[in-house]
Amino acid sequence: MKRRITWTLLVLTSVLLLLAVVPLAVSLTARERVAYRDGQRAATRVIAAAAEEHLSDGKPPTAMRRELDAAARAGDCAAVYDRSGRLVASTPCAAAQGEEAAELVKDVLAGHEPEPPENEGRLLAAEPAGEVHRPGGAVVLARSADPLDARVAAIWGWSAAIGAAGAAAATLLSVRLAGWVGRPLSTLDASARRLGEGALDERADVGPGPPEVSRLAATFNTMAARMEALVHGHRAVIADVSHQLRTPLTALRLRLDVLAAGAEGETAAELGAAQEEIARLSRLVDGMLAVARAEQTTPRRTAVRVDEVVAERVAAWSPVGEERGVRLSAVSAGRAPAVALGAGHLEQILDNLIANAVDAVPEGGSITLDQERTRNAVRVCVRDDGPGMSDEAKAVAFRRFGNPEARGAGLGLAIVHRLVTVNGGTARLEDTPGGGLTVVLDLPLWAESGPGRGRAERSLPVLKET
C-alpha cells in the first residue's frame, strides 16, 4: 500500500507540474521572443528616422551615421538603402546580411510588410525610411540571436529546476505520507496475523498515524482482549469438565471391576453390561472434549509432507487391519508438495478416518489412501469398500452426533471436519465407485512465507465412527 500511495502521489504531482511548468515556460519564451523582436524593430526605426531626414529631406547624413555607429557598437549590423535599392550607408558587418536582406529591401520598397527571417543565428528586421506606401528608402538591421537563445535557455533551465524541486518535494511528501498511513496499517496487519495464528495475547500498537487507523487499532485490541478472555474461559471450562467427569467415571469403573471379579451368573452379565456402558460413556465424554478443543484451536501451521504422513499412518494401522482381515494401502502420484497444517493435525485426521473405515469394512475388504496435487491444494482421499453411507447420513455426518448410522459416539467425522477447516481446507464425502465411502480432503499448500511456524497443538483422541 505504501508503494501505491507513493506512486499515485508522484504521478499526480508530475502531471500537475507538467501542466503548470511547461505552458508557463512556453508562454515566457514566446513573450521573450516578442520583446526581443520589438526591441530590434525599435532600433531599426530609430535608424530609419535618421535616414529619412537624409534621403527624403536632403539633410546631411550626420544623424544617420551617428545611429549606424551606435548600432555597430551594440553589435548590430545595419544598412541603409535608397528608393532604388542602392546601398547608401552601412555598418562594417552589413555585408554579412546576404540575399535575405535584398529580399527584405525589395518588399519594403514595394510597400509590403515583410516577414523577417532568421539567418544563421541572426535575426533580420526591415523598416521603411519614410511613409510605408511611398518610402524614401529602407533600413535593414541584423542582430545576433545569441542573447535571445540564452534567455530562452535560462527560462527552460529555471522551469526544469522548479519542476525537479517540485518532484523532489512531492517524492519526500509522498514517502512520508505513505509511511504515516501505511506503517500503522502494516503493524495492525501483522498483529492480526499473529492473533490468527494463535497468539491470543497479541495487541496492536496504537501509535501515531491517521485517527481512523488509531481507532481501528484500539477496536482491534478490545476485540483481541475479549477473544482471549473468551477462549481462556472456554479452556478452563473444558479442563474443569474433564476433571469433574473423568474422575467419577474412573472410580465407578474400578468399583464395577471389583464387583465383576467376584460375580457369577446373571450378576456377572449385568455387571459386564454396566462396564460396557461406562466405557461408552467415557468415550462419549472424550469425544465431546475433543470436538470442543478442535473448535477452539487456532493452530500455528507448519509444513507437513503428506506422502510421508500417509505412509506412516498406513504402516501404523496395517497390523490392526490384518487382525480384522482388512487390507490397507497407500497410492501416490509422485512426491506431493508440503501442506500448511497444525503440527500433528494430519495424523489425527487420518487416524480418525482409518479407525472409522477399519470398523466399517467387512473382512476381506480394503482401505486405500491416495494423494495428488491440484491447482492450489493437495487432495487426500481415504477410500473403503464398506457399506458406505446414505445421502441423508452424508449430509449430516460432519455434525456432532449427526450420523444416525454411526456405531460409535458419532463424533469422529466432526473432529476431522473441524481440524481440516480450521487449517483452511475442505472435507467432503463421496461414494466409492463399486460401493463404499470416500472421504475427500483438500489441504492448503505451504508457502515459504506461509502461515506461521510455532508450537504443536495437543493431540486429540481418536474416535471410531462410520
Mean pLDDT (the chain) is 80
Highest mean pLDDT among 16-20, 230-234, 276-280, 366-370: 366-370
pLDDT number for residue 119: 58
pLDDT number for residue 405: 54
DSSP for 264-278, please give it: -HHHHHHHHHHHHHH
Which residue, 218, 231, 226, 159, is CA-closest to 191? 218
Instruction: Work out the pLDDT band at 463, boundaries 50, 70, 90.
Output: very low
- 3-state class (DSSP) for residue 330: strand
How many of the other CB atoms lie within 10 Å of CB of 270?
13
- 3-state class (DSSP) for residue 160: helix
pLDDT per position as a tens digit, 163-222? 888 888 888 888 888 778 777 888 888 888 888 766 778 888 887 777 888 888 888 888
In the block, cell 472435507 appears at 427
pLDDT number for residue 438: 92
- For residue 296, is pLDDT > 60? no
DSSP for 92-109, please give it: TTGGGG-HHHHHHHHHHH
Distance CA 70, CA 80 (A): 14
Who has greater pLDDT, 14 or 247? 14
pLDDT per position as a tens digit, 53-101? 888 877 888 888 998 899 888 888 888 888 888 888 888 876 556 677 7
What are φ and ψ of residue 117, in 5° steps? -85, 170
Instruction: Work out the pLDDT band at 268, boundaries 50, 70, 90.
Output: confident
Distance CA 246, CA 254 (A): 12
Query: Across residues 221-235, what is the average pLDDT?
Result: 81
Could you give all domains of the chain from N- to C-terminal order, each with its CATH number?
Answer: 2-149 (3.30.450.20), 197-296 (1.10.287), 299-444 (3.30.565.10)
- For residue 313, is pLDDT > 80? yes
CB 411 within 8 A of CB 291: yes
Who has greater pLDDT, 220 or 295? 220
DSSP for 201-233, please give it: T------SS-HHHHHHHHHHHHHHHHHHHHHHH
How many of the other CB atoms lie within 10 Å of CB of 305?
17
- Burial label for 67, CB within 10 Å (0-12, 13-18, 19+), is buried
pLDDT number for residue 239: 64
Query: Across residues 282-290, what is the average pLDDT?
Result: 66
From first CA to last CA, the distance across the chain in angstroms is: 50
What are φ and ψ of residue 335, in 5° steps? -70, 115
Instruction: Work out the pLDDT band at 460, boundaries 50, 70, 90.
Output: very low
pLDDT number for residue 17: 82
Highest mean pLDDT among 130-134, 363-367, 408-412: 363-367
pLDDT per position as a tens digit, 1-56? 667 777 787 788 888 888 888 889 999 999 998 898 889 889 988 988 888 888 88
pLDDT number for residue 130: 80
Distance CA 459, CA 356 (A): 18
Instruction: Work out the pLDDT band at 440, boundaries 50, 70, 90.
Output: very high
pLDDT number for residue 113: 75
Who has greater pLDDT, 223 or 260? 223
Q: Which residues contact 49 (CB under 8 A, 6 or more apart)?
A: 129
- For residue 441, is pLDDT > 90? yes
pLDDT number for residue 220: 86
Query: Across residues 236-256, what is the average pLDDT?
Result: 75
pLDDT number for residue 461: 45
- 3-state class (DSSP) for residue 9: helix
